[in-house]
Structure 1
């Protein structure tokens, strides 16, 4: 294509990071200054145009600016002089969980449309280091038609990016941002003549459309009329190509006719900032915990609201929490005042987690007050706020005074069918005078109905009731029906899958190694070994429901505590790693996980899964052609390219597939290295590229959790959700506080509120609609096949609509009284709006 035939659309913007340049409030003030200067430019020159990168900036401006200033900006948007991207902010897309990512559109474009009636069709994602697999589907289901990015694609400038379900979004990659500064648009015509020609020649093989974007803006850069004046001078002098100041929508209108000729690309764009979570390890873990806490709270509180018929729902509390944990997933971690921002992020996630727990506990206690037990003894109701049959280890305090008579001395437990259940007597609770007050017991709960509960019964006896258990402990290990775990001098020597007769692990499994790491936070540069885990001591604790090996050791003067746990009757192995870090700077810590298998890795991403590729042909940071050859590595000087071969951010699980056999590793932390044997990278103590004096010393206490499941038929999505969403128990409740305002139904001692007849359909949300008009249910098909399923909600429907991610109804769906039949394309995400 001849350069003279091109039109370059210069789009002014400002990259308004939520932090990075300083703390949140400092960056909010900088953003406010940008917006006020934008209003001045719009007043000064009627031809000036602008694109606001994300809705968060609009929300902050609307909250803090004068009403007249907000009205001026909204008028400019409606007049087509200013565009707003539909995203909440520049999300690091591979990090948030599925609902965290989906809510970005509700908090972004959804807020903009509800508040001001503005229906934006474009989205920008500047400086975000990768883009997740299902982003095209999420964008399309939010009404976004053009996605503008700066990182990730080394292919042509314009392409159609597609999700596994077939959704396409037209995508344009700038290849970087702040181009106008480098090409002289705010300097002089002479500089522009030299640099624009050089730039077009440099990217010439990537130009596949007659219109290009040249962005005019950097970090908190102020809107400037000099760019527009230089564009006028350029065009008046007859220079080519033609430059035009534009909005993103104007650019889209200019190129959408060529969309059909653009190539179709598919797959994820792996993040090159894969180490980001290692700088704030607690933030990454607590953000994930908070999401699943809020999801469970929304489900059970929605069910409580329906049962009680009172219309009460803590929408403002939940919305504030979602706003906070979504904000935490912004792409900037570190920078100036990064230590303060990191603490604020961790605090926000912890608060959201506990608010979710509070709402969840209230909901299940209210629901429990409606249950009519039909067994002898005191009832323990075990709740499962997930969409599959639940299981897990539950603990509960038993108040002996509630027996109503003399306590006989021995307590035992039965399930809802009257079968004895093994228990651990964790604690004997006594009054001050030594008399018995109660017990704390632990037990394994199984087959808890999805989005429902099952009741167990505590009974007492004159004699001890001996309930057999398959758990065994020996000198250097533990075992149950499914696994045997052995240690040798504090080293894990064997994890035997007894059913399939294979040792799962190699040498050094679950051991820590510390490496020298002299790079900045974004780079991959492992040096020599600084330290290995020192020999420590181990002990074994065995109960009838749970047995564990506890290993205590140290590395680099830091105390390490590891636990490996087996349960009676459960085919899972739980592992935990607690670290009191006191190590040095310039260090990278790794957990070795050498599983013995000969096959392929599969890992979870939001609403999807990835088979780890041997190579990546067209994704790269900042538009760098990715061929893995020395010449191009030298040309572009991007040391992180090599790391794309094996470093990834994962969601709840990694699965190792060997023929029909599966090893599933569930995890609550995202950064893994697949090069060689599997390694978890939980922590780094390097410095920030945004502040060379900010070291991530990260001294303090941390805890990471894992779970191993093996077998042939494993549903990794459901197992990952169960791993992140523990069972909840209710023994006694405040009947005086859980009184229904209307006639409420009585519930049996075992019940499921929602049933899906296909376990490949995964529910991620059940909540009240933002406008209070019905219930929102979101689910996706976690398989490569089309599926037709029945979703049964034991609530009478009036109408059911398919909705978009903004919760707006699209079309009505034929439904029964309490059941709806849906057809899902492979990997399709569906949102329903249910009117009850």
Structure 2
């Protein structure tokens, strides 16, 4: 019996491959093909259609890297095929790799009407189901010769193919066969029957009765196939499988809601401009499939991708809009892009939902209730309340299944954020956002589902993704056979909202997970491509300033608020927060363009800020100090401009006995030794030393960095086993009010300026690195004399606490984590903050000192630079600048304030000299204003967003300057009144708020 079983499986595999699948197209005839290749970047469709072509035959190389070629394909349906189903099979030169990573095409009619996309698993174009014979076939194919960056077969190898400027011009592909073919639907269905049953059989218990039933049926079906006449005997073979295919699933079978899907990275191993075309190709494919399959439902997230189709391919967009109106093509997620969620700042994360949801509402009249982030590299603890504040209540992701150390304990649960907000969350147990309806995937989903016994449902995003492609007719056919099939989970096409509604109804009290959803993988994305990260951080803060000062100037002077400009810039910044751009895991082309984009945006935002501030300053010669930070400092009220004198400067360096320098401003005494290292930071008021005994801060440490996989994405824990301290100096000298330190190592140089402001308890460290290392990791260390079992890292609208110890594998796995502007650690009554202006990755460790001291050293290390070689072999080569500050004696409020200060420098503008009072004031330092702007609906109303930043209760009065705030309305992120919510309390023309820890509030203040 055992030998029979093995023989049937082997027989099935060979007969399918060599006889039955080839018989799907029993008759073929070649098509005539001509080609025209663009000399540069892609051209408009009309130009491609009109271009002169030359003949090309199968076997001919074509396609320079990142090039575009237009194929003209013509032919005539043979008369003898009358009454048959005919389609074309068009092979651009596909390789066996999955779609999205090689050549692709979009088929058009001669008038430019899009027909469908082409990729290696979807290369057919239907001519007719009952042809008359003699039909003329004429298509134009826009074909992209995108290079396969892993064509060597060895993944993650450095390649110059990642940028058109270095890719060369050697042809990438060899044209395959372009043929008309008779399509035998009976044989194709036999293939689907046999694949489904064969895949199911492989997953069933070896000695189970159901397996043997299928085994015998498959054997009988194969007996019925005449290998010399497959087409003539396929119907009989199918009849012998009908009984086992009709056996229904057991009532307790796991229920899978399948939704068509094509996770398309908005940039990754291709540039942004190519994603525009990938989306058009996939959307064309899916609208064509929806027309053929009445039960099929497709979903697509990322409003940016819909916007691209609308702008660049309106004829495709018309089909999409109709399918959306029919409820078949479902916009999902409500975000501008599937962004990273660790690094975007508070407002940026909020605006992802504002711009995404508003686009779907305005274009389709649809509001999504779910956030859709299948491939994002972990989820910040501030995200639940942002999702809720945007009017959504659910989250779908899959990526946490990639964690390498711990298996997440739930697939369906409530996720609780830092403020106590909970959202219903689902991780598909199929462990893929590119499900193909393969038997092994369906069986894995059912077996893997962790909520067995209390819940029965999971979701399976089904279709080729990453580089696009979407669902295929084969996947739809398999799902139909799995709708209710004994031995398998059941499968039904459903929109995400329908799945979530059923899942919530059957599981009303799921378990709760509190805090961040940390991905135990891809930790190095917090550091790779430092200039991209600096550009993002700088753009976020420039946008804050631009909105604040433009709104203030609009209210005070009638300055024209730049609605369109700010909207466009926000969307560009949000796009670049996509989870392979901001994390630094895209090809060189993407990051080269990102750097150029950030420079352009900075110039545009500086123009907006400058114009608004000049309008406020008026004409004159007196210097005004504009302060955009949310807290008052140096006597300048927050969000104001003042002509009052501001104490400035820094403590002058004094030579130190034994070498080095001392910086002392009577608040702080800092000692820098002859190595340029900080050996003492003494807090005079607290009579407390910040640096651990015998240790030195401002210590640059260099580690080898060669992860086991995923070069730009990963840093593995073993990197810490080997490292060197950079203590040699090439120069150490006083320079103005700072100490200048220069070092050289490998092929790189570092220059640092260390200073202490004259009036602040803070050590500023400005670092410039001319970086020319390969596969190295650079850290900046601060060993602190603080015993802390946990520390705080800023995240969106608050902070999250992480342990400094490694008691469990969950804690050990967080050996590299994310912070925004600060980390803070403390003992009761005294703490230390490390703030930054551009870095995100860091690690915090603790050690107990030996000897009579026996104290604890807690070391904070900021991650500065890496040098991975894939997918960008020149990652981060060149000059980088970083600002860090060590703030001894800091409370969490000090950390918040200093974090903003480091990112929002004061601006000096010449004007009339009259002070510009803040447009809005808040009387509690624990309540931070994150945005002041005019309402997006152009009503002129003022919108103020604020949050409790210290992690405690707060009662704050919000007051408008020059207008009453007592008619404020509480709104969601989209500036719509919150339903079933009482108006906020008011007193003396101001709003009085009582906030819970980390609570986010948006106020709309009417001005009319």
TM-score relative to the length of structure 1: 0.80
Task: Verify the 8 A CA contact 1:588 1:684 in the aligned structure 2.
Answer: yes
Q: Which residue of 1 aligns with 2:623?
A: 380
How far has the Cα of 1:615 moved from its partner? 7.6
- CA shift digits 1:122-147 (9 cap, x unpaired): 22101111011121111111121321
Q: Which residue of 1 aligns with 2:176?
A: none
Q: Does 1:660 align with 2:848?
A: no
Q: Which residue of 2 aligns with 1:491?
A: 676
How far has the Cα of 1:300 moved from its partner? 1.1
How far has the Cα of 1:564 moved from its partner? 0.8
Q: 2:818 aligns with which of 646, 649, 653?
A: 649
Q: 1:575 aligns with which of 745, 753, 765?
A: 765
Distance 1:712 1:504, change over 3 A: closer
Q: Which residue of 1 aligns with 2:706?
A: 518
Residue 92 of structure 1 aligns to a residue in which SS? coil
Give me the whole-angstrom Cα distance separating, in 2, the residues matched to 1:92 and 1:468. Answer: 39
Residues 108-507 of structure 1 aligned to structure 2 (within 5 Å): 108-152=356-400, 154-174=408-428, 178=432, 181=435, 185=437, 192=439, 196-204=442-450, 208-217=454-463, 218-219=465-466, 220-235=468-483, 237-271=485-519, 272-309=521-558, 312-333=560-581, 338-369=587-618, 379-390=622-633, 446-456=634-644, 471=652, 473-475=654-656, 476-492=661-677, 493-506=679-692, 507=695
Task: Verify the 8 A CA contact 1:22 1:335 in the aligned structure 2.
Answer: no
Q: Does 1:549 align with 2:739?
A: yes
Distance 1:236 1:764, change over 3 A: closer
How far has the Cα of 1:696 moved from its partner? 4.1
Q: Which residue of 1 aligns with 2:49?
A: none
How far has the Cα of 1:205 moved from its partner? 6.1
How far has the Cα of 1:556 moved from its partner? 1.3
Q: Does 1:78 align with 2:325?
A: yes
Give me the whole-angstrom Cα distance separating, in 2, the residues matched to 1:557 and 1:656. Answer: 35
Extract unaligned runs of 5+ from structure 2: 1-248, 402-407, 847-858
Pair member with larger Rg = 2
Task: Verify the 8 A CA contact 2:712 2:869 in the aligned structure 1.
Answer: yes
Q: Which residue of 1 aligns with 2:728?
A: 534
The structure showing larger relative contact order (alpha-carbon pairs under 8 Å, at least 6 residues apart) is 1
Q: Which residue of 2 aligns with 1:61?
A: 309
Q: Which structure shows the bigger proportion of residues in strand conformation?
A: 1
Q: 1:703 aligns with which of 854, 869, 881?
A: 881
Task: Verify the 8 A CA contact 2:442 2:489 in the aligned structure 1.
Answer: no
How far has the Cα of 1:259 moved from its partner? 4.0
Instruction: Please provide the CA RMSD for this pair.
Output: 2.8
Q: 1:685 aligns with which of 853, 867, 874?
A: 867
Query: More deviation in 196-205 or 601-610?
Result: 196-205
Q: Which residue of 1 aligns with 2:144?
A: none
Distance 1:582 1:3, change over 3 A: farther
Give me the whole-angstrom Cα distance separating, in 1, the residues matched to 2:553 and 2:512. Answer: 46
How far has the Cα of 1:347 moved from its partner? 2.2
How far has the Cα of 1:761 moved from its partner? 0.8
Task: Verify the 8 A CA contact 2:648 2:759 in the aligned structure 1.
Answer: no
Residue 784 of structure 1 aligns to a residue in which SS? coil
Task: Verify the 8 A CA contact 2:580 2:586 in the aligned structure 1.
Answer: no
Give me the whole-angstrom Cα distance separating, in 2, the residues matched to 1:339 and 1:616. Answer: 37
Distance 1:781 1:616, change over 3 A: farther
Q: Does 1:38 align with 2:289?
A: no
Q: Which residue of 2 aligns with 1:398?
A: none
- CA shift digits 1:529-559 (9 cap, x unpaired): 37734322211134xxxx2111111121311
Residue 27 of structure 1 aligns to a residue in which SS? helix
Residue 759 of structure 2 aligns to a residue in which SS? coil
Residue 769 of structure 2 aligns to a residue in which SS? strand
Q: Which residue of 2 aligns with 1:807?
A: 975
Give me the whole-angstrom Cα distance separating, in 2, the residues matched to 1:42 and 1:709. Answer: 59
Give me the whole-angstrom Cα distance separating, in 2, the residues matched to 1:337 and 1:94. Answer: 17
Number of aligned residue pairs: give it: 715
Give me the whole-angstrom Cα distance separating, in 1, the residues matched to 2:472 and 2:370. Answer: 23
Task: Verify the 8 A CA contact 1:601 1:612 in the aligned structure 2.
Answer: yes
- CA shift digits 1:691-743 (9 cap, x unpaired): 4xx4244221001101122226451222211221011112347xxxxxxxxxx
Residue 723 of structure 2 aligns to a residue in which SS? strand
- CA shift digits 1:190-237 (9 cap, x unpaired): xx2x65335422445667421111221332132212222112223365
Give me the whole-angstrom Cα distance separating, in 1, the residues matched to 2:645 and 2:715. Answer: 55
TM-score relative to the length of structure 2: 0.67
Q: Which residue of 1 aligns with 2:933?
A: 767
Distance 1:26 1:195, change over 3 A: closer
Residue 478 of structure 1 aligns to a residue in which SS? strand
Give me the whole-angstrom Cα distance separating, in 2, the residues matched to 1:204 and 1:654. Answer: 35
Task: Verify the 8 A CA contact 1:131 1:152 in the aligned structure 2.
Answer: no
Task: Verify the 8 A CA contact 1:294 1:352 in the aligned structure 2.
Answer: no
Give me the whole-angstrom Cα distance separating, in 1, the residues matched to 2:479 and 2:650. Answer: 80
Query: More deviation in 137-146 or 812-821?
Result: 812-821
Task: Verify the 8 A CA contact 2:584 2:591 in the aligned structure 1.
Answer: no
- CA shift digits 1:567-610 (9 cap, x unpaired): 22222221111011122x22112222212211232111111211
Give me the whole-angstrom Cα distance separating, in 1, the residues matched to 2:423 and 2:815. Answer: 27
Task: Verify the 8 A CA contact 2:834 2:887 in the aligned structure 1.
Answer: yes
